[in-house]
Structure 1
Amino acid sequence: MSRSRSGIRSGSRTGSVGTAPVVFQAAALLLAYPDRDWDRRPRTVREAVAGLPGREFPLLLSFCGQAEREDPLALAARYVATFDRSRRRCLYLTYYTDGDTRRRGAALARIKSVYRTHGWLPPDDELPDFLPLMLEFAARTPEAGTALLTDHRAAIEVLRYALEAHRSPYAALLQAVCRCLPGQAPASREEALRLTRTGPPAEAVGLDVLGPFPAQPRPNDEGARR
């Protein structure tokens, strides 16, 4: 996947419409691959959250501080190692609930339908369940976007637990996002995993059922390109 294709721009602004949209936009920027515009993203986040009250913002600023001290090439390598080389830390949320099954195709189509219903057109060359994409939608369309994230909360929480176990700096971003979601969080990783198990084990059908979506290989612990 070309990491610059997520449709997320460093110049994005969410406005003063509450804490959650600001957190979602910031996390969207910081969870996208650190490509050529990376040096502007932490600065954009710092400017957006400066002086804002809320326990989520120190988490974002902590990540920014650590990322800004890291060599860009090392940060890019860390990103790949964190998200591309382990199925446990996948950024594609329906993978946690549906694996590579026909059900996943339907789940992706439902997410894309929500985007279209609200007049939001994500890039055709990115899967609609890519977390940074879903976060930007939630920042721009707070009511529908927050509901969509909440529908996939179990997967988000599983990813958060995995990043915490990996001692990844990216865990702070997931912690900030989870604090903005309504309702009660799963009490444990095991509970979050149970909530994602809504279907049978993976079918060997691939993702060719997705029509306009590009076929993507299943993530695995040895590495994958999505």
Structure 2
Amino acid sequence: MDFINLLKLTFCEMIGNLIDDLTDFFDDSSGLLFPNVQPDYIKYMNLSIDKSVESILKEDLPQEFCDRACNEIDIFRRKTVNEKDEWIIYLDFKTGEVLDYIKGVGGEVIGEILESRYYGRKIVAIHNHPKGYLSPPSYDNFGILRFPFQDYEIICSEDEFWILEAKGVVNNRDFKVLKKNIKALYYHSFDFAEDDESLNLIYERNLLKYLNNKININLIKKEYK
């Protein structure tokens, strides 16, 4: 076989292998295809784990969370505890697969998710509240009540984390009332706070008192100091 024919054969082989690789890539049914090509996925993977931060105990998380999901939540808290920006990941708590990674700016996360990929899943969203921001969930975190596929929201701060459980959905009118009331509690707390610490405590107390009357919402605080 002469050199030219050998070169043609080698080139055809390379093209064939490339087509096979691309086919396997787009055939991925693991749920991890899209996150793995997102810029925020790469940034998240490059965050270092703060080993000085105490690990979240599995028994402090809902019993229906699988071991892999608990491990991902623990890693998230220890990766983002020192971050100045807010991060959020969407996780299937039955399988432990992370479906989306989104990085925010400061205390805001603005990003789009493809909701259709979440149907049939059991989703928990985990995000951090950076230093300088309130520790308890904000009124925006109660968007969980609009999604039938999401049962939990976990909010991590420096020394504690919050588990917000809200199974089922509420109608648009009730959701607007709930969000409006929580927003009022948030701003009302500023009137009585002397510093960030007292603001956290006042808002936390008022929020928990208000949610006590909501049978489909459960909010739990876990401290790690």
TM-score higher than 0.5 here?
Answer: no
Q: Considering only CA atoms, is the larger Rg found in Structure 1 or Structure 2?
A: 2
Greater helix fraction, Structure 1 or Structure 2: 1
Q: TM-score normalized by structure 2?
A: 0.28
Relative contact order: is structure 1 or structure 2 higher (C-alpha 8 Å, sep ≥ 6)? 1
Q: TM-score normalized by structure 1?
A: 0.28
Greater strand fraction, Structure 1 or Structure 2: 2
